[in-house]
Amino acid sequence: MKSDCQQTTACQERKKDPIEMFHSGQLVKVCAPMVRYSKLAFRTLVRKYSCDLCYTPMIVAADFVKSTKARDSEFTTNRGDCPLIVQFAANDARILSDAARIVCPYANGIDINCGCPQRWALAEGYGACLINRPELVQDMVKQVKHQVEDPRFSVSIKIRIHDDLTRTVDLCRKAEATGVSWITVHGRTVEERHQPVHYEAIKIIKESLSIPVIANGDIRSLKEAENVWHTTGTDGVMVARGLLGNPAMFAGYEETPLKCIWDWVDIALELGTPYMCFHQHLMYMMEKITSRQEKRVFNALSSTSAVLDYLTDHYGIDWTS
């Protein structure tokens, strides 16, 4: 685990309380947990463009607790990286509590992934299979809240919905009764991938609870985010692929502005982002503003210097200024 802030001062830097944001009456704009992508550099970028709250990629709690190497590679932060939620994959309350205690000085809260539909996660008892184990979810929420002394430290869950929505409402009410801080609802079932999002289901869940709810699924612009917010009555919206393609989306841009690409280059170079990640993010960002031929050339570039030369030649972006 890497941080440029001392443990004794980190908590003082976490002044923005997500719970207060959710009760502000304003749309809370959230960057989703994305494996490989929602790391420190990308979180730093989207925060410059009106993103209110960021999640880390999903981290397997058992590995995080056991391995210093895992902590150093999976969780990097700094003083400007807040408010921040660390998302864990877990199926054991004690292990999750241990992981929460480790990150507590550096984050505003943790989130339990109860929505990942990937086969490996389900086989390990992580992710979306937890929506069928409400008692385990309750136990994990309860244990973390008991073990972490900071009363402002949040414990949230991110879920998918059941075919029978009454089961989802029951799960959410049980989590609420245990003290979960908020719930993010991806409006698809475990089996659904690209089918339309069930926003009406998210609305029903929100109306069944007293705690904040975040809507998630297929939001690609600020206008869509605002529409989903109004339609569902939720307290915030969470975006994944929409932000990958346009990190300035929450600031109202319809496509990635050149200034945002420039900012990404500066941030990524300053934080030492590995080339593969640096290049992949640019490929996503430039999807809408490049021709097929330009994509073919840009996507084949194999070094940071080649990318910087390309950007300078094609867009006049001078990263040295």
Provide the pLDDT for residue 315.
86
Q: Do 67 and 97 lie in a common domain?
A: yes
CB 18 within 8 A of CB 53: yes
Query: Could you list the active site residues?
Result: 116
Using the 3D structure, point to which of 232, 251, 270 is the last residue of a domain.
251
Provide the pLDDT for residue 99.
98
Q: Do 263 and 217 lie in a common domain?
A: no
Residue numbers in the known binding site are 33-35, 87, 186, 240-241
Provide the pLDDT for residue 316.
79
Token pair 């809260």 is found at 109
Q: Do 112 and 167 lie in a common domain?
A: yes
178 found inside a domain: yes
User: Tens of pLDDT along the chain (321 residues)?
Assistant: 655 433 333 544 455 789 999 999 999 999 999 999 999 999 999 999 999 999 999 999 999 999 888 899 899 999 999 999 999 999 999 999 999 999 999 999 999 999 999 999 999 999 999 999 999 999 999 999 999 999 999 999 999 999 999 999 999 999 999 999 999 999 999 998 889 999 999 999 999 999 999 999 999 999 999 999 999 999 999 999 999 999 999 999 999 999 999 999 999 999 999 999 999 999 999 999 899 999 999 999 999 999 999 999 988 766 555
DSSP string, 60-129: EHHHHHH-HHHHHHH-EE-TT--SEEEEEE-S-HHHHHHHHHHHGGG-SEEEEEE----HHHHHTT-GGG
pTM for the whole thing?
0.94
Q: Do 98 and 150 lie in a common domain?
A: yes
Residue numbers in the known binding site for FMN are 33-35, 87, 186, 240-241
Backbone angles phi, psi at 112, to 5 degrees: -95, 120
Q: How many domains does the chain have?
A: 2
Provide the pLDDT for residue 103.
97
The Cα 184–Cα 215 span in angstroms is 6
Q: Do 105 and 138 lie in a common domain?
A: yes
The CATH number of whichever domain residue 41 belongs to comes to 3.20.20.70
